[in-house]
Amino acid sequence: MTENMLRQRTAARRDAVIREVLDRAWALMARDGVAALSVRELARDLGVRQQSLIYYFPSKQALLDALFADGFGQLQPRLAAAGSAAASPVDRLVATVTELLGYCTAHPARYHLMLQRTVPGFTPSQASHQIALDTLAILLERLADAGVTDPADADISRGLINGLAAEQVANDPGGDRFTRQAPRALRALLAGLATTSKE
Amino acid sequence: MTENMLRQRTAARRDAVIREVLDRAWALMARDGVAALSVRELARDLGVRQQSLIYYFPSKQALLDALFADGFGQLQPRLAAAGSAAASPVDRLVATVTELLGYCTAHPARYHLMLQRTVPGFTPSQASHQIALDTLAILLERLADAGVTDPADADISRGLINGLAAEQVANDPGGDRFTRQAPRALRALLAGLATTSKE
DNA sequence: GTCTATATCCAGATAGAC
DNA sequence: GTCTATCTGGATATAGAC
């Protein structure tokens, strides 16, 4: 067994541990809220000492940043694949938005950390922020394909999408009162924007 | 001087102290974020001991609840008065939404506490929640006057309005990139909803 | 009404043994 | 890699003097 093979094995094990830590962190956040996550409690939940986690994540900031990047790393391929069999660009946009809203409402804690971004002292690193921008780019591309090329109109559309997610998570958690309106809301907005002058 | 007059004077003084505490709390939240507010720091800022504030607010929860109610108590008359000189129901709706978005972006901390509601352990009391509902009712009434009578369409409209506020506060704080689109966005959505079937 | 003193608990981070 | 031990500082809340 060469030294290189050993290094691969230990690296793989390290990745597996990190994966488990992130999964447990998501679970705790889902249960108690994003702001309630403490490294101590996470460690207790994992059966180790708080200090041992520092070996993997040197600070709480680093842990939150890893979670942020992890969330977008999961969301991005889902958005990219959404509506691949759609009959029209608008249908594909609707499918993409439905996928996004499904993710947000199924995982309110992720929505809070990744998109709402009101977690106490947290700001994503530049690298993690880039992953978020790349993911947002998918949505903007689908919007453009559906005819929303004006940046102002894209901002409006983003607002509607984010707003449906926000209302859903805040005022009907676990339900679909707001998100189920997304297809009609989007089609109506697109139609309205196309016929409403910019005064 | 009767005992009753004395009681009034001391009650007035108590109200004045409470007013000052709330104002300083809003200022600190605006500076450091809602979640960062601590009773200790607030007391330090006011020049008293943390324990003295408990005389006015028995717990941090009570303080946050008072702030929540105070914010809606200020917002409600502003919304009620908005667009009183408007030429049409739609114009009045636009004026009301503009007022709301102006409040949210001028006071992101209030938006966070009152409408975003992701403050660690905070849930408003039933009484405070009612004030929030009464305020929301003004917006719903203006929407109905503008022709949005279908509850589903009202939900969609709420989503758009809240979403523009959320995007503005999160992605262009201090600017007006999203909120300035509100009039066009609203008019377009209303027009679109009126002509888009519910399939 | 405001204070001192204190209780109790929790957080994140560091040093260094093994 | 994980541990024990410890540091440092923060939080909310209570008891009781003045």
Residue B1 CB coordination number (10 Å)? 6
**pLDDT reported for residue A4:** 74
Is the distance from CB of B114 to CB of B124 less than 8 angstroms?
no
Asked if pLDDT for residue B3 goes beyond 90, the answer is no
Length in residues, chain A? 199
Cα–Cα dist B99/B90, whole Å: 14
| Chain A residues bordering chain B (beta-carbon distance below 8 Å) | 33-36, 112, 115-121, 152, 155-156, 158-167, 170, 177-178, 181, 183-185, 187-193, 195-196, 198-199
Nearest to A181 among B34, B156, B191 (CB): B156
| Chain B residues bordering chain A (beta-carbon distance below 8 Å) | 33-36, 112, 115-121, 152, 155-156, 158-167, 170, 177-178, 181, 183-185, 187-193, 195-196, 198-199
CA distance A45 to chain B (A): 20
Spatial CB neighbours of A116, under 8 Å, sequence gap ≥ 6? A166, B116, B118, B166, B170
**Tens digits of residue pLDDT in B94-147:** 999 999 999 999 999 999 999 999 998 899 999 999 999 999 999 999 999 999
Query: B89-106 and B151-171 helices cross at what angle (nearest 10)?
Result: 30
Residue from A182, A164, A154 nearest A83 by CA? A182
pTM of the model: 0.95
**To probe the interface with B, which of A29, A189, A198 has the most B CB atoms within 10 Å?**
A189
**Tens digits of residue pLDDT in B161-193:** 999 999 999 999 999 999 999 999 999 999 999
**pLDDT reported for residue A69:** 98
- Those residues of chain A that have pLDDT short of 70 are 1-3, 199
Q: Residue A191 and residue B195: Cβ atoms within 8 Å?
A: yes
**pLDDT reported for residue B149:** 97
**pLDDT reported for residue A5:** 77
Task: Name the strand (E) or helix (H) holding A140.
Answer: helix A126-145
Cα–Cα dist B176/B174, whole Å: 7
Spatial CB neighbours of B35, under 8 Å, sequence gap ≥ 6? A35, A118, A119, A120, B119, B120
Q: From the CA of A52 to the C1' of D9: give the distance in Å.
A: 21
Q: Chain A residue closest to B118 (CA)? A: A118
Residue from A124, A123, A74 nearest A100 by CA? A74
Residue A40 CB coordination number (10 Å)? 12
**Tens digits of residue pLDDT in B121-135:** 899 999 999 999 999
**pLDDT reported for residue B152:** 98
Bases of chain C with protein Cβ within 7 A: 1-5, 10-16
DSSP letter, residue B115 = I
**pLDDT reported for residue A162:** 98
Nearest to A192 among B119, B152, B192 (CB): B192
Q: Residue B178 and residue A170: Cβ atoms within 8 Å?
A: no
CA distance A121 to chain B (A): 8
**pLDDT reported for residue A1:** 55
**pLDDT reported for residue B120:** 83
Average pLDDT, chain A: 95
DSSP states of B57-82: -SSHHHHHHHHHHHHHHHHHHHHHHT
Asked if pLDDT for residue B154 goes beyond 60, the answer is yes
Q: Exposed, middle or buried, A69 (CB in 10 Å: 0-12/13-18/19+)?
A: buried
B52 contact to strand C (CB, 7 A limit) = yes
**pLDDT reported for residue A193:** 98
Q: Biggest alpha carbon distance in chain A?
A: 73
DSSP letter, residue A197 = -
User: Token pair for residue A184?
Assistant: 């009609």
Cα–Cα dist B157/A3, whole Å: 62
Among all protein residues, pick the one whose CA is nearest to the C1' atom of C5. B51
Mean pLDDT, to the nearest integer, of B12-24? Answer: 95
The half-sphere exposure of A178 on its side-chain side, counting CA atoms within 13 A, is 28
